[in-house]
Amino acid sequence: MRSILPIAAICFAIVTVWYVGAVGLNAKWERDQASRAGVEIGWAEIIPATMSQDRPVLPAPHQVAVEIWKTTVEKRITSKRSLVYHGWITLSATLLGFVMGVGLGILLAVGIVHNRAMDLSVMPWVISSQTVPILAVAPMIIVVLYNVGISGIVAKAAISAYLSFFPVAVGMVKGLRAPDDMQLDLMRTYNASAWQVFWKLRWPSSLPYLFASLKVAIAIALVGAIIGELPTGSQGGFGARMLNGSYYGQVLIIWSALFGAAICAALMVGAIGVAQRAVLGRTGQAR
């Protein structure tokens, strides 16, 4: 509970800077309008006006809040103008891609730790896969997958998986190698099989690393799903909302989609934190 004050202070600072920025960036349009109409206006008129423009350069925080309220609470969730509707489209692709990516990452890590050939050959590819600018490659992936009959949620999930397998693979390689020589020797004195060493020692040792990786993975899985929605002229999702907003100059739509995505990411990372404490807390491994 002690953390509330610092968090509130930071939020207050951000909102303040945001308001100042909104006034500064939106003032030009107000002045242009005034000079076109041939009237003189001062800051007293400009400041309130900058906070309620229809198409501001930077919308004020309360405008975004109102927009989010209107598109979530006040819309049926089946409506195409509901942020919840679009949110679920993105979220479902995110979760599917996350599961695929985590599975792939763990499999790669297990292979790398147990197989010397994979250890020497796979890691460079894993790393170089992430140097590819995903924003540029995403349309190609979508098109290629479409041509082999994969489209919609699975195609988007593929991009999520492509991004999210990486932290899991890297973290799990480290985690599966966490047992020290003494712990491995102990299993050897029991004449334990490789399978037993894995399940009774390597896997549980790696869990703290896994949870740390999952938090990164879920956040970039969401980014991946949004990127996957950009090139297709997709029917829905946060990405489609952002793209529509920018086509029609509806800055508020972009910002509300942006915040929707951020809130989703925060909730998912938080959920993983809860799972982490449930699994590791009692054993003193959570920190």
Partner 1 sequence: MTRAGAIVASSLDLVFQTNDGPVHALSNVDLEVAPGEFISFIGPSGCGKTTLLRVIADLEQPTGGTIAVNGMTPREARLNRAYGYVFQAAGLYPWRTIEKNVRLPLEVMGYPAQERAERVSRVLDLVGLGDFGRMFPWQLSGGMQQRASIARALSFDADLLLMDEPFGALDEIVRDHLNEQLLALHARTGKTVCFVTHSIPEAVYLSTKIVVMSPRPGRIIDVIESPLPTERPLDIRESAAFLELAGRVREGLRAGHSYDE
By CB under 8 A, tell whether 287 contacts partner 1. no
Minimum Å distance from CB 103 to partner 1? 22
Applying CB under 8 A, among 128, 131, 147, 189 the residue interacting with partner 1 is 189
Applying CB under 8 A, among 66, 99, 186, 265 the residue interacting with partner 1 is 186
DSSP state of 198: I
Q: Which is nearer to partner 1, 36 or 282 (CB)?
A: 282
Q: Which is nearer to partner 1, 31 or 188 (CB)?
A: 188
Task: Tell me how long the chain is.
Answer: 287
CA atoms within 13 A on the CB side of 48: 3
Which single residue is written with the structure tokens 């100059």?
249
CA angle 22, 24, 25 (to 5 degrees): 65
Minimum Å distance from CB 255 to partner 1? 44
Minimum Å distance from CB 284 to partner 1? 4
Q: Which is nearer to partner 1, 165 or 198 (CB)?
A: 198
Tokens of 99: 């599961």
Nearest to 236 by CA among 66, 13, 85: 85
Query: Footprint of partner 1 on residues 225-284 (CB under 8 A)?
Result: 280, 282-284
Q: Which is nearer to partner 1, 256 or 276 (CB)?
A: 276
Minimum Å distance from CB 78 to partner 1? 45
Q: Which is nearer to partner 1, 197 or 251 (CB)?
A: 197
By CB under 8 A, tell whether 285 contacts partner 1. yes
Minimum Å distance from CB 111 to partner 1? 24
Phi, psi of 236 (to 5 degrees): -165, 180
**Which residues are within 8 A (CB) of 212 and not within 5 positions of it... i.e. 6 or more apart?**
171
Minimum Å distance from CB 200 to partner 1? 7
Minimum Å distance from CB 116 to partner 1? 20
Q: Which is nearer to partner 1, 49 or 186 (CB)?
A: 186
3-state secondary structure of 284: coil
Binding-site size, partner 1 (CB under 8 A): 20
CA distance 27 to 25: 6
CA distance 52 to 63: 7
Minimum Å distance from CB 119 to partner 1? 22
CA distance 258 to 266: 12
The contact mask relative to partner 1 for 154-183 (x = CB under 8 A, - = no) is ----------------------------xx
The answer to whether 207 touches 279, Cβ cutoff 8 Å, is yes
The contact mask relative to partner 1 for 190-209 (x = CB under 8 A, - = no) is xxx---x---xx--x--x--
Report CA-CA distances (Å) from 248 to 89, 135, 184, 202: 21, 22, 62, 53
Applying CB under 8 A, among 58, 68, 168, 187 the residue interacting with partner 1 is 187
Helical spans, DSSP H, in 115-250: 116-129, 134-147, 153-176, 181-189, 194-197, 203-229, 238-247
Which single residue is written with the structure tokens 């809860």?
274
Report the interface residues with partner 1, using CB under 8 A.
182-183, 185-192, 196, 200-201, 204, 207, 280, 282-285
